[in-house]
Amino acid sequence: MRLRLNHIGYIANKIALELYNASFVTLNVPLESLSKVAQEILESDTKKELAIDKKAQEIVEENQQEVDFIRADERRLFGLIKRQIANEEKFLLFWDDRYNALSHKILDTLIQKQYISFHISNNQVKNVIFKAIDSFAKMHDSIQDEVMQKIKNYKRKLLAGTDEYELIYEKLYDEELRKKGFL
């Protein structure tokens, strides 16, 4: 699952909650501080990917005439260009590798700032962070489906894209996240 800026807060909260609930981790700061560190790192990573997307899109658009002439599949071409730019910038696109690297970065920052302490291997704590990110990615689609089903069965019909629709969607989404332990 691709990380989106509007999901970052939920993932950061899940990371903080999972570290709080881990019996082998001692928090030296409030949960909000852990969440803030995770959020900053995840936002930075997501913004890097968006910048790579933008560069790839610009290249496709600059060469639009050639793309049309050879009848290339724009989505596939975009993906190839994005992969090349990501490789040049040493940005990980494969999710397991990326989540793992992000987990290490979050853990290293928390240790450096002395926000947490523990007496086990770093890898075990990193796995708690990794599982929090991965569980959100896996749960997101099912949560989204549940919210969409609730909106379809809503007492009055809502028009997608309206302010009312967005408010109700967000309320139901937050409710589902709470049920699943993300908030």
Kindly report the number of other CB atoms within 10 A of residue 105's CB atom: 18
CB 3 within 8 A of CB 52: no
- pTM score, whole prediction: 0.79
Contact 156, 27 (CB under 8 A): no
Please tell me the predicted confidence (pLDDT) of residue 118. Answer: 94
pLDDT by residue, tens only, the chain of 183 residues: 567 788 899 899 999 999 999 999 999 999 999 999 999 999 999 999 999 999 999 998 888 888 778 887 788 888 899 999 999 999 999 988 999 999 999 999 999 999 999 999 999 999 999 999 998 888 877 888 888 888 888 777 877 777 888 888 888 888 887 887 666
The predicted structure's pLDDT at residue 23: 94
